[in-house]
Amino acid sequence: MADVVAFLKLTYAGANKMLAEAVAKAEAMGVPQCIAIVDNGGNLLAFARMDGAKPLSVDSATRKAISAASSRAPTGGMAEGLDIRLAIATQGKLLNVKGGLPIVVDGHTIGGIGVGSGTGDQDLEVAKAGVAALAGAKTDF
């Protein structure tokens, strides 16, 4: 086993490209959104709170992005009961609500995107548009 491995990293430029596409999708849908993009460690790289987006969705969008990056899976699919236990164990950082997607390139999770302020399905649609803007990212969620 190697002592050091190379890894892919989501850049600020890549995060902003995703953010711009997600904002454009939300505008086209007529649904103002909060959109958060984090790296694989859950650190915020890019964020937008569109005019008219719900103020508390700042927190839910960010937690959806962190949850998707950490679990390497879309949010909203955890079993009932497990989601509450994990939320407690992580001091509320993990959130099991639709609208968060991992950002996966070449099999590596390099971050997460979280969207909040619409319905779960609207949030997910905007998140998918953001992920699709990144060349080589997995889009079949």
- pTM for this prediction: 0.95
Distance CA 46, CA 32 (A): 16
Compute how many other C-beta atoms are within 10 angstroms of the C-beta atom of residue 2: 5
The strand pair at 100-105 and 34-39 is best described as: unpaired
The CATH number for 12-132, chosen from 3.40.50.10470, 1.10.1660.10, 3.30.450.150, 3.40.50.970, is 3.30.450.150
Tens digit of pLDDT for each residue in 106-121?
A: 999 999 999 999 999 9
pLDDT confidence tier of residue 65, bands split at 50, 70 and 90: very high
Burial of 90 (0-12, 13-18, 19+ CB in 10 A): middle
